[in-house]
Every structure is written in structure tokens, then in C-alpha cells.
Structure 1
């Protein structure tokens, strides 16, 4: 397929002159800053937060570049991965005209962003084993299809999508394919970041909220061609990531050994919890997972959920989602939390 970014960009985005902030116009170090109308006296906190943050998060990107193996120019850093998702809709989808494809069951923000931006949503359900319906996707594509979202490892099912199937979609679509890899650190599958040089229409989304343990900081990333990243930077707010998040994320990125240790611990615990769950008579199936959670099909998800709530344990009831009927999504906790879960489930009696 022939991919041309200009054919996808909305006309108003092509002609957009982005806001030029004080920190865009002067780059470097100075002794006196009187250009941004900041409070020159400081801030009422131990840390000096009176100055605007780096609008392009240079230090965070530099550290991400070393970890991910891609140049900073191919990285967008935003207020959670949800910001990257929203920008994709605003930059490439004409409200009331264009459409995007999602493959449910999947992450719910794709649908929310589509509705907010008045973009038609086409749903092509995954197969019974939670893989892509390639024929269905091909049939759903029309001249106004701009984006295809694929979450791998998938939320809420936990499995990775077959790599060859994803490559088939990317190679045969002249719009943008978005691979959401929020849980990639827990997966046996390699990241698609390595394929950016091969596919100009590929965007890979990741986050520091999961394996990196920084959900409270709201740090998400998008990896793509330099052309697409330039679009992201053009559309985003001038200071889209606050200074506290940048500083703390930068420090966290120096602790990769700690994070890798936690990942190994979580994967080992995931397999242990999965084995223990299969022993309960009310558990019909424990689905294979490449994430830090497990999807569990049960005889009565609602009753089991309420039973766990009474024990002070909160899981996610996914039983109302198509292809997840009767299922609970259970995050892998600490060894003590996992033990509490299993003990609580052992006292459940659904007669």
C-alpha cells in the first residue's frame, strides 16, 4: 500500500501555526529569565516549580532513547498515553466524516476518544481465541478509514496478538496503524518499535504507568516516524507535561534494574496465581496472559466480585464486555496480596 502522511492530515492541521512559547523561542541557559511572566520569587514548595517546564521533555527523551533504542526525534512524551491517542484523532480524523477501526474487546479509551471527536467507530471483534479477524478488518476498511488500533498485549484479555497478523494489517493499510503496548514489558513478544524504520504508517504507544510503576505521574509515549512526531508536537499543548513529572520520570528511568526485577517477579507470580485459580470449581478458564493481569472466566463473575469486595479485595468485572462474558480481570499483586486473593476465593461457595 502507498502511505502518504499529507493525504491523512486534516487541512486545518496542515495549516496550523502552533503556539510559540517562551521556552520555544529561547533555548539554552541564562542567569535572568524575564520572558515568560513567571513568578520570579519562587514557589511555596521545597522544589522550585515557578518556571515553565521543558516543552519537549529533552532529558526524558534522551533517557528513553537509550532504553528503547530510537532517536529522541522519534519520541513523543505526553500526559499519559491517552494524550497520544487523543492527538491521533484530532490530527488525522475529520469529525463527522472519517472513521477508525478497533478490535474489541479492547482498551476503552479508543471508543471514548472517537466519541469526543465525533469520529465514527467501526468494531471488528477478535476471534474466539482473541486474535485478529483479518478478513473482517479488510472488509471494514473504506476510503475514510484513518486509524486502526491494536492493543498487544491486549486489555482486558491479556494475550499478545499474533505478530504476523499485525504486520499484515500494517502492510495492507494506507492509514495509520496504532499498536498500544502498555503491557509490553511483561510479554514474550518483542516491541514493534524496532519496525518503525520499515513501516512509515506505524505508531507504537507505551506508558510508564505499568511496569515502571509511575501511574500517578501520567507519563505516556508514542514512537513513530519523525514526520508523525512533528505532527504530535504541533498539536499538543505547549507545556503538556509538568515539571514534577519530568523530573521524577527522569530519575526513575535510571533505575531500570529495579524495574526489570519487578517484571520478573510479576511474571513468576502471574504463573503461580494462574495455576492456583484453576483449582477452584467456579473457575472455568484462566486465559493465557502476557500482561500483569489475568482474565478469568467464572460461573458467576458478579457474585465472586461481590464476595471479594466484602473481603476488601477489588478486581475488575469484565463480564458485560463482548467475548468476556462471565470473566473477571485480576491484576497481579504482591505475594501477600495474591495470597489474600486465593484465601478469599477459597471461602466462596456458589452452591
Structure 2
């Protein structure tokens, strides 16, 4: 894959904004280059200085956990920023197209619409697996991106690995594998295959297993030419200093995160078994995520009755292939008991 042919013409010639922190490298005691407030911040900690635009310390800490070099890592304001930048860097508005695989994460379509990029939908099979023949038929010379969510949202299942590899091996554009829920899955991450597939982009997040949804911090892993393009088009200081500092502290507590993952997976299995015994439940779909897709007799009525009791889930009954379904996040043991009790009431 030639990244120069894949990216938009205007991006090839783009000269990115050069920050004060880009132009100076080294140590200094007096900074009079970026027009910051020299007196500090009206807080216990000072945030008057601009953050590292490339988040090198945070990327180094992530590298030690993920085993991915810094130069293959991009950090975004949530994974949504990486998704948006992929459209802006590689898709010519009004000309190029992308392939999404419903039912799937809704931001792929939203970002495509914002960037005026054609969406080609190839529905998953009834098994929620890839329709490889349909994908092959949808691809043309203007197809730049294919988004594969695995484990998939909202269905919860992992996509068959060999099917993803088939797409990677036969597509000349970027294959974006969204692994937001990979920590809860038996299937291993695709980041180990970055050296094998130059067209592979893997998205992960701090919003799920790491419990940092409020920080809005996402990760993209890819070949260096792809990362270089993303760094060229991103805002100069897209990850604020407070987020970088808090994430660095969180990375020191990986044992706690792993314990929560074990508990969540165990609760997922228990909750799935309990849900399957309820009269209103038609089907409980297998899940590799921290949520469960459940088909019920009357999705909207069930959803509303839970809302009345202060329990909020997601009504997915109008989503392709998810007719009559609710998506339920796996809560704490106490929350799961409260949910089940509410569902048992007539």
C-alpha cells in the first residue's frame, strides 16, 4: 500500500501548524515563546503551559503495556477524533467512499456524513459475521476505508479473525478495526499484526475497561506513514495536560483494571444465564464485550418500565438486525441484581 496514493491530494502538500513546543527541543528555565500566562494557574496544580503536542511520555507508558512503538501510536480526543481524522486525511469529499457493516458503531456513519463521504453499507450476516462476498462487491477504486468493529457494538460478538485477515489481505485501502471492547474478549488484539499489514489501523480506548470515559482519550495504532498523516492533520494540542497526567497515573494501576475485567466477565456470564430464564426474554446473544444484546417480547415497553425505576439501558430495537433487542451494560453485582429484580416484576 502506497500511503501517498491513499491520502487526499491537499493533505500531501499540507504544512501542519508549527507550535512553540515543536520548534524548541531541550531544557529551559524561562519560557517566553508561547504567550502563556507566566504566573501559573488559579488551581493547586499549574496548567499554564501548553502540553506536549505528541504526548511522548504518555505514549511511552502505553508502549510498555501494549508493546507498540511510540511511532506507531496516535492519541486522540476519544477514538472519535481518530475516526474523524481518518476521513479528513484519506477521503476526498464528494468522491471517495467507505464501507461500514451494520449493525455497528454509529460514529462511522456520522463522521462520513460530516465529511461528505459516501457510505456503502454491507449488513452483517444473521450470525453477525462478515459478508465477505458483499464487501468484495461494494469495493471500487474510490473505496478508502472499511470499518470493522470487533467485538461488535451493539451485538457484542467478536468477528471471525480469518475473515478480518481476508479483508486485510485483499483491500488496498485502510482497514480500521475498532477494538473498544477487546479487553473483555477471548480473541486477541490485532495490534500484533501491525508489521504484517501496512493497511491496518487498530482503535482502542480508555473509556471502557480503563474506566476513564470522562477523560475522552482514544488510541490508534498503525504503520508509521499512517500515524504521520494523522499527526499532520490533528489540532496542535489535541490532548490536554490534565488528561495526560491522569492517564499516566491510571496506567500505574493495571492490576486494578485487570481485576475489574475479570469481575465484569464473570458478571456477564451470570447475567446472561439469569436473563435467559426470564419469560419476557426471547434470546440472549453471546457477548465478548461488557454488554449483552437481549431480544425481548416488547422492547420499548420494557425499556420504558426500567426508565420509570431509574434504570437506563439502550433500546436497539430499531437497529438493523437487532429488531426487538435491548443492549444492557454489565453493571456491578448489586446493579445486576436490581436490574433482574425489575425485569421479573409484571
Please give the TM-score of this superposition, normalised by the length of structure 2. 0.99
Structure 1 residue aligned with 2:46: 48
- Cα deviations across residues 54-110 of structure 1 (Å, max 9, x unaligned)? 100011100110100011010001100000000000000000000000000000000
Distance 1:144 1:282 in 2: 46
Structure 1 residue aligned with 2:104: 106
Distance 1:4 1:73 in 2: 18
Distance 2:307 2:31 in 1: 53
Out of 2, 19, 24, the position equivalent to 1:21 is: 19
Shift of 1:209: 0.3
Out of 221, 224, 229, the position equivalent to 2:222 is: 224
Shift of 1:164: 0.2
Structure 1 residue aligned with 2:185: 187
Out of 152, 155, 180, the position equivalent to 2:153 is: 155
Distance 2:293 2:35 in 1: 51
Shift of 1:191: 0.2
Query: What number of residue pairs does the alignment pair up?
Result: 346
> Secondary structure of 1:111's match?
helix
Structure 2 residue aligned with 1:89: 87
**1:176 to 2:174 alignment:** yes
Distance 1:183 1:160 in 2: 9
Structure 2 residue aligned with 1:252: 250
Structure 2 residue aligned with 1:316: 314
Distance 1:319 1:7 in 2: 41
Shift of 1:282: 1.0
**1:339 to 2:343 alignment:** no
Once the two structures are superposed, the pairs formed by residues 253-292 of structure 1 within 5 Å of their partners are 253-292=251-290
Distance 2:164 2:252 in 1: 32
Distance 1:219 1:169 in 2: 28
Shift of 1:119: 0.1
Structure 1 residue aligned with 2:200: 202
Distance 2:310 2:293 in 1: 20
Shift of 1:29: 2.2
Structure 1 residue aligned with 2:235: 237
Shift of 1:28: 2.4
Out of 324, 327, 342, the position equivalent to 1:326 is: 324
Which blocks of at least 5 consecutive residues in structure 1 are unaligned? none
Which blocks of at least 5 consecutive residues in structure 2 are unaligned? none
Shift of 1:27: 2.0
> Secondary structure of 2:252's match?
coil
Distance 2:85 2:27 in 1: 31
Distance 1:102 1:159 in 2: 16
**1:130 to 2:128 alignment:** yes
Distance 1:290 1:26 in 2: 46
Distance 2:252 2:83 in 1: 27
Distance 1:272 1:27 in 2: 54
Q: Which runs of 4+ in 1 moved over 4 A?
A: none
Out of 1, 4, 10, the position equivalent to 2:2 is: 4
Distance 1:320 1:246 in 2: 38
Structure 2 residue aligned with 1:73: 71
Shift of 1:7: 1.2
Please give the TM-score of this superposition, normalised by the length of structure 1. 0.98
Shift of 1:5: 1.1
* RMSD (Å) for aligned C-alpha atoms: 0.5
Shift of 1:290: 0.3
- Cα deviations across residues 125-163 of structure 1 (Å, max 9, x unaligned)? 000010000000000000000000000000000000000
